[in-house]
Amino acid sequence: MQTGYYAAAAGMVTQFNRLDNIANNLANVNTAGFKEDELIVGDFMRIFQEKRDELPNANQTKEGAKFLNRTLTRTPRIVDSYTKQTEGTLQNTSNPLDFALTREGLFFAVKTPQGIRLTRDGNFSTNDEGKLVTKQGYKVLAEEYLTNKKDGSITIANSDTMIAVDKNGQISTNIPNSASLTPNKKLLIVQPQDITKLKKEGDNLYAFADIKEIAVVSQSGSVRQGFIEKSNVNAVKMMTQLIETNRLVGMYQKVMSTQMDDMNKDAIEKIARKA
């Protein structure tokens, strides 16, 4: 009886974790550049397949059967998580300081107090100093930052009434009182060697372990000016998962109540017989 009760309780905890993840995805459905998080729940069949070849006892024996029975009473649990890095749809904003990346696995690089971080959110603006920054005020880095260790910030002057950015991230601004364009700095576009090692850090930023794991992509051909990449969260799918998870929570709750009622009834009957 107790085994079933605790198994149901652990299963409910797993569904609570799923609810938290779904709620976070839905909360960011309109966040530019946000990538959907997914949880992997280990089921009984997966656990069986993992443990089948690790039997400490010979198969087809009573001891082996007992071991498998104990293994299969394990409850569903979160065994892994990952970020779905597929591209989101592009939204035309006509803002010259909005940028989107049209290739999966590429990122803009920004400078934060904690160091360099990566982002897919290209909704940029300028601060009081004319520096190109993110919504949180982090400086957007130029390609020269990793090549010659300069400041790396990108400055857009108030007199720059025309701003053009090509598909490789090269920024050009107009000569004062002229329609002619002159090259400015170039956006730092990078690609991690192993995208699965990126860690979400809040503010739509990703942290990485070592700068050597990041490669500069000078000819990306993926920068789109005047667009932002929308979240890749599928709201319909998330709502379906939300309903499914809520139902599972209700089912586990019913199992727990039934188990508890049966245990109490059994205890009362045993006490009554002894009395």
Domain match, 113 and 188 both: yes
pLDDT at 45: 56
Mapped onto helix, strand or coil, the DSSP state of residue 135 is coil
- Give the pTM: 0.78
φ and ψ at residue 39, rounded to 5 degrees: -110, 145
pLDDT tens for each residue of 110-146? 999 999 999 999 999 999 999 999 999 999 999 988 8
Rounded to 10 degrees, what is the CA torsion of 88, 97, 189, 197? -50
Domain match, 130 and 77 both: no
Domain match, 127 and 212 both: yes
Domain match, 80 and 103 both: no
What is the residue type of 157? Answer: A
pLDDT at 78: 80
Domain match, 165 and 221 both: yes
Nearest to 36 by CA among 230, 201, 232, 244: 232
Q: What range does the domain containing 9 cover?
A: 2-85+233-274
Domain match, 182 and 98 both: yes
Task: Tell me the β-bridge partners of 227.
Answer: 92
**Which range (47-51, 124-128, 179-183) has the least confidence?**
47-51
What is the residue type of 224? Answer: R
Inter-residue contact 105 to 86 (CB < 8 Å): no
Banded model confidence at residue 267, pLDDT cuts 50, 70, 90: low
Q: What CA–CA distance (Å, rounded) separates 76 from 7? A: 8
Domain match, 221 and 248 both: no
Q: Which whole number is the average pLDDT over 50-68?
A: 57
pLDDT tens for each residue of 12-34? 888 999 999 999 999 999 999 99
Q: Which two tokens stand for residue 114?
A: 């904690």
pLDDT at 174: 85
Domain match, 95 and 221 both: yes
Q: What CA–CA distance (Å, rounded) separates 171 from 11? A: 53
Q: Is the pLDDT of residue 59 over 60?
A: no
**Which range (119-133, 171-185, 208-222, 228-242) has the least confidence?**
171-185
Domain match, 254 and 210 both: no
Q: Is the pLDDT of residue 197 over 60?
A: yes
Number of H helices, E strands in the chain: 5, 18
Domain match, 255 and 222 both: no
Domain match, 220 and 262 both: no
Give me the number of domains the chain comprises: 2
Q: Which two tokens stand for residue 139?
A: 């400086």
Other CB atoms within a 10 A radius of the CB of residue 59 amount to 12
Q: Is the pLDDT of residue 214 over 70?
A: yes
Domain match, 101 and 192 both: yes
pLDDT at 41: 80
Q: Which whole number is the average pLDDT over 42-68?
A: 58
Q: What CA–CA distance (Å, rounded) separates 36 from 25? A: 6
Q: Is the pLDDT of residue 47 over 70?
A: no
Q: What CA–CA distance (Å, rounded) separates 19 from 75? A: 17
